[in-house]
Structure 1
């Protein structure tokens, strides 16, 4: 589990840096500066907890649509809970308050496709070493 936690945390950090760098490109900020927070490593690392769900869904040969949808729900739930907790302590690194399709400023429903595919990526990372390893 520890190796998967580290793998998912690092992968999530890298994805976030790429995403925020891409968003700076869209704002015509040619430095393409990506940014993240130390809080994001354990939040992304929690994707390691998808492994039991992933093992179950893969053993039942569920479609990638169902698996991606369930992972997306898990990620939204984790983002909402962690964002709400961090916001309560005034240290949440993201704030979606001024955007469309946001809930309490901590999740954006229009990010559903991103979380769908990230969930499938985390499934791959969790399964990479086989079902019996950490």
Structure 2
């Protein structure tokens, strides 16, 4: 049996970034539907979301590995949610310095500087549970095969799928 190795940190970061990007588009589409009853589902995000989600989820992965045997899942999800608020505020504050912050929560009742809002606490808490239980745990199980066998073609077959005729 061929040996396998875990995904590299860069590979996991990429998967987390794509996952976060996709979830951002889906969440904004669903939010717009609920708030404005928009059947077009125009989900939006920013390229910055790739870095933001990929990096944050890689950090949460480290938290998960450290905390999984030390505290229960509700406590871990609360910690991840607090981290999410810190990360969202920090990255938003930095991006705002360059007029590049793609979100503005100033229209919400419980926002802080337009960069974070308490109205998203429950969605972030639910997302943290899904992130740990589905995304991070399954990503950590993924493996690369070190040695992949060469594909064996049937006799007379060529690599492009055509059979040689004599």
TM-score (norm 1): 0.89
Write the mapping of 1:3-42 to structure 2, written as runs, cut at 5 A: 3-26=11-34, 27-42=36-51
- 1:129 deviation in Å? 4.4
CA-based RMSD of the aligned residues comes to 2.0
Aligned to 1:70: 79
Look up the SS of the partner of 2:79 in the other structure.
Answer: helix
| Partner Cα distance (2:97, 2:139) in 1 | 37
- Do residues 57 (structure 1) and 67 (structure 2) align? yes
TM-score (norm 2): 0.73
Write the mapping of 1:101-116 to structure 2, written as runs, cut at 5 A: 101-116=110-125
Aligned to 1:119: 128
Structure 1 stretches of 4+ with a deviation exceeding 4 A read none
Higher-Rg member (1/2): 2
Aligned to 2:102: 93
Aligned length in residues: 133
Please identify which structure carries the higher helix content: 1
